[in-house]
């Protein structure tokens, strides 16, 4: 069977079950690259069976496609992910793009709450930034190190409860901390609730626990003229402007025109 025919077969199976067709695209992108649709590749029986097995699992169990293949795309690369780390979200590329604009090969970056390491690793690969990734989870750190090795990034990764084990100063601090209210987690879509770790989601009673820690401590870890970049929940802007009221703050919107990133500078 030609690759595009198999793709159309799986895409149509997904559409019939109300699963977004982008899942079919992601599946073929992962195994055969972005140009799969124009590739002259004829799939053998083994390949077709493997693809169909994954597609059927997606349909039967509602497990997200990236949980099934254990890899997730971010900024054009596939990162290893598993049940212990958040599956990267497209919106996080907004934060990445802002950090890329401010970075060069001398920039020292702290990727706090690094998860699978998508932000720090991408900044190192794209701009040769000097990156320290930090997370409280040993599982996340193991995945970050694996991703760095597999993708050829040169970063360091340490275990740290927020800033507790951080000693240096950085030109840029990026963080996508957990920001869902504890009581809201149960009502999240089951594909998030059941397949992303609670540790990566739970932002405490008001969802703001980690932002408050960051606001009270980040100055000690930022170089002069440095920048803090934070991903935020789409409805958290006003509370966060209050929490960061003593700093200069700019808010950036995401692809859906929702507030998504805070760019924070210390006032002169």
Ligand X SMILES: C[S@@+](CC[C@H](N)C(=O)[O-])C[C@H]1O[C@@H](n2cnc3c(N)ncnc32)[C@H](O)[C@@H]1O
Residue 142 touches ligand X, criterion: CB under 6 A: no
Instruction: Pick the stretch among 8-16, 129-137, 182-190, 240-248 that binds ligand X (CB under 6 A).
Output: 129-137
- Taking every pair of Cα atoms in the chain, the longest distance, rounded to a whole number of angstroms, is 65
Distance CA 92, CA 212 (A): 20
Minimum distance of ligand X from residue 114's CB (angstroms): 5
Minimum distance of ligand X from residue 265's CB (angstroms): 21
Which pairs with CB-CB distance under 8 Å and at least 24 residues apart come from 262-268?
A: 262/228, 262/229, 262/230, 262/232, 263/98, 263/227, 263/228, 263/229, 264/218, 264/227, 264/228, 264/229, 264/230, 265/225, 265/226, 265/227, 265/228, 266/219, 266/222, 266/226
3-state SS assignment for residue 2: strand
3-state SS assignment for residue 49: helix
Residue 246 touches ligand X, criterion: CB under 6 A: no
| Site for ligand X, residues 160 to 219, rule: CB under 6 A | 161-162, 176-178, 199-200
Q: Between 31 and 139, whose beta carbon lies closer to ligand X?
A: 139
Residue 233 touches ligand X, criterion: CB under 6 A: no
Distance CA 14, CA 27 (A): 12
Distance of CA 226 to CAs 70, 123, 223, 263, Å? 35, 16, 5, 11
Minimum distance of ligand X from residue 205's CB (angstroms): 15
Mark residues 28-47: x for contact with ligand X by CB under 6 A, - for none: --------------------
Residue 64 touches ligand X, criterion: CB under 6 A: no
Residue 262 touches ligand X, criterion: CB under 6 A: no
Q: In the bound complex, which residue of the shown chain has the CB atom lying closest to ligand X?
A: 115
3-state SS assignment for residue 223: strand
| Site for ligand X, residues 76 to 115, rule: CB under 6 A | 85-86, 88, 92, 113-115
Residue 151 touches ligand X, criterion: CB under 6 A: no
Residue ranges that bind ligand X, judged by CB under 6 A: 85-86, 88, 92, 113-115, 118-119, 135-137, 140, 161-162, 176-178, 199-200
């Amino acid at each position: 069977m030609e690759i595009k025919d198999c793709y159309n077969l799986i895409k149509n199976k997904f559409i019939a079950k109300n699963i977004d067709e982008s899942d079919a695209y992601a599946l073929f992108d992962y195994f055969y690259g972005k140009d799969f649709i124009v590739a002259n590749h004829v799939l053998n029986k083994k390949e077709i069976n493997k693809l169909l097995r994954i597609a059927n699992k997606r349909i039967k169990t509602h497990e997200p496609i990236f949980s099934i293949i254990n890899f997730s795309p971010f900024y054009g690369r596939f990162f290893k992910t598993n049940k212990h780390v958040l599956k990267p979200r497209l919106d996080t590329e907004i934060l990445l793009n802002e950090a890329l604009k401010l970075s060069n090969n001398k920039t020292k970056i702290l990727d706090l709450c690094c998860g699978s390491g998508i932000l720090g690793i991408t900044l190192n690969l794209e701009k040769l930034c000097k990156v320290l990734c930090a997370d409280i989870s040993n599982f996340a750190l193991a995945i970050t190190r694996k991703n760095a090795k597999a993708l050829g990034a040169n970063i360091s990764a340490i275990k740290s409860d927020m800033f507790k084990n951080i000693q240096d100063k950085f030109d840029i601090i990026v963080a996508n901390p957990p920001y869902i209210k504890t009581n809201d987690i149960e009502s999240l879509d089951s594909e998030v609730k059941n397949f992303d770790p609670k540790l990566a989601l739970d932002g405490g009673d008001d969802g703001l626990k980690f932002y408050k820690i960051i606001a009270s401590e980040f100055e000690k870890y930022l170089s002069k003229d440095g920048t803090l970049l934070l991903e935020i929940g789409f409805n958290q802007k006003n509370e966060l402007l209050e929490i960061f009221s003593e700093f200069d703050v700019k808010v950036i919107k995401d692809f859906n025109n929702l507030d998504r990133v805070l760019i924070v500078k210390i006032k002169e």
